Structure 1
Amino acid sequence: MNPDQIPQLLKQVSYADPRVLPDDPDEVMGLAALWATVLADVPLDFAIHAVGKHYATSPFPIRPADIADRWRTTVRDRMTRHTDPTPPADPAAYLKQLRATRTAVATGQAPPAEHKQLTAGPAENVARRLENVGRYMPDTFDQWRPNRRGRLTNGTDPLTVPCPYDACRAPTGQPCRIGRRERATPHPSRTEAATSHQAA
């Protein structure tokens, strides 16, 4: 906002709050100079809008700092939502375009370019690795992977032998236990014992 616009702004303020304008013309000039310094970066239309917003919610006289704070908050919000354009090959052209775009967004002449979401998906090797996250054995050991009851896919049933684990000692046909609770799968030593028993 240039100094010539400050009297117009102060007149708008006085419509809502006559206390802002002093009676002495010299004081008015000093007040205008102060407001021009504080609001040098704020556009006139934004300042007038900010005055209306202030008096819609506050009975206190508006200060130039109130308008400047509202302007900084607005600019910060716009720039947070903005994504800079893809740079051209020429660095000088990119910097020129970057300055022009950011200035336009900050002053409200252009809307923020919102962040774009990735749509291509992960690379093939990444997708393959993600499929294996959380698996306790690779696919090459499928024949040794127990099902829910502990039966291995090669036909061995660990419940056909007693559990040799000292803290369990579950008898044949009974599931392994942890304390008083049943385990979802047999202890590994029981699985090994059942495999050895079948091989023998």
Structure 2
Amino acid sequence: MTPREIVALLDRVATIDGRIDRQLNDASSAERVVTRWTTALADVPATLPAGSWDVGRVVRNYYERRGGDNSAQYHPVEPYDILTAWARHRDALMQRHTDPTPAADPDDVPAFLTEMRTTRTAVATGRAAPIEYRALTSGPHPAIEARLRAIGSCIPSPARAELARYRPVRAVREAAVAAGQPDPLNVRCDWCQAPEGRPCRSRRVRPDGSVRSNARRATPHPSRVELATAQHGGEAAA
């Protein structure tokens, strides 16, 4: 804020709080007050576009929140009260801001970082509005929806085939469903006690009965497949 803006603000505050008015009665005292406020609020804007920030409204809110208090129970508004309100507003601005790609050459690291810092500083000091990404509100593009319906998945078949060796359990499940068979992982395994959605495990037991290993199986236990098939058949008959 500029000294002129500070004087206008203090004049407005003085109409609300007589204690500020008394500080401005003496010329030398008023000069000290204006200098102190100007120094403290040099990086705080008086207003921002679209009315998102107005320091005059901040001051009024300060006194309205204390409207029911005795005047001796709180201090007259000070620069740090405005700084606190501005810090909250600035944090909200920065949370909405998404760094646009600088126009500088990415290989020119100093220029790239300088442009990014300049943009962030402009937003943080209220000299520029935050740049936000537009949210998707209407769902996928019709062409994308049509393609998904055609291929049945967002992962193309060649890519899914390449992924199969890295996801053996999922590959077995997808193959069963593609063949019209029930997904065995939809039921609990009575053999190894694996819960629904989790793969079966092969337990190796020592002679004393303790478990030596508990490795995950790529294929479910036969009893689990039979149980899933039986349940699937019962649902189909119903």
> TM-score, length-normalised on structure 1?
0.58
CA-based RMSD = 3.8
Q: Is the Cα–Cα contact under 8 Å of residues 39 and 64 in structure 1 kept in the other structure? A: yes
1:110 counterpart letter in structure 2: A
Runs of at least 5 residues in structure 2 that lack an aligned partner in the other structure: 48-53, 68-73, 145-153, 171-196, 201-216, 231-238
Residue 135 to residue 55, structure 1, CA distance change in 2 (3 Å): same
Q: Which residue of 2 aligns with 1:134?
A: 198
Counterpart-to-counterpart distance in 2, 1:36 and 1:18: 21
**Quick check: 1:56 aligned with 2:64?**
yes
**Quick check: 1:101 aligned with 2:144?**
no
Counterpart-to-counterpart distance in 2, 1:18 and 1:122: 70
Count of matched residue positions in the alignment of Structure 1 and Structure 2: 149
Superposed CA deviations along residues 15-74 of structure 1, whole A, max 9, x for unmatched, are 221221222221111111111111111112332231122122124421111001111111
Counterpart-to-counterpart distance in 1, 2:123 and 2:2: 20
Kindly state the Cα deviation for residue 89 of structure 1 after the two structures are TM-superposed: 5.8
Q: What SS does the aligned partner of 2:85 have?
A: helix
Kindly state the Cα deviation for residue 79 of structure 1 after the two structures are TM-superposed: 0.8
Runs of at least 5 residues in structure 1 that lack an aligned partner in the other structure: 153-200
Counterpart-to-counterpart distance in 1, 2:114 and 2:92: 22
Kindly state the Cα deviation for residue 105 of structure 1 after the two structures are TM-superposed: 2.5
Counterpart-to-counterpart distance in 1, 2:43 and 2:115: 21
Selected match of 1:69 from 68, 71, 84:
84
What are the equivalent positions in structure 2 for 1:110-129 lying under 5 Å apart? 110-114=129-133, 124=159, 129=167
Q: What SS does the aligned partner of 1:80 have?
A: helix
2:7 counterpart letter in structure 1: P
Superposed CA deviations along residues 71-91 of structure 1, whole A, max 9, x for unmatched, are 111111211232211344614
Q: Is the Cα–Cα contact under 8 Å of residues 78 and 112 in structure 1 kept in the other structure? A: no
The percentage of counterpart residues that share the same residue type is: 30
Q: Which residue of 2 aligns with 1:25?
A: 27
Kindly state the Cα deviation for residue 93 of structure 1 after the two structures are TM-superposed: 5.1
Counterpart-to-counterpart distance in 2, 1:77 and 1:29: 34
Counterpart-to-counterpart distance in 2, 1:143 and 1:63: 73
Bigger Cα Rg: 1
Selected match of 1:144 from 213, 219, 222:
222
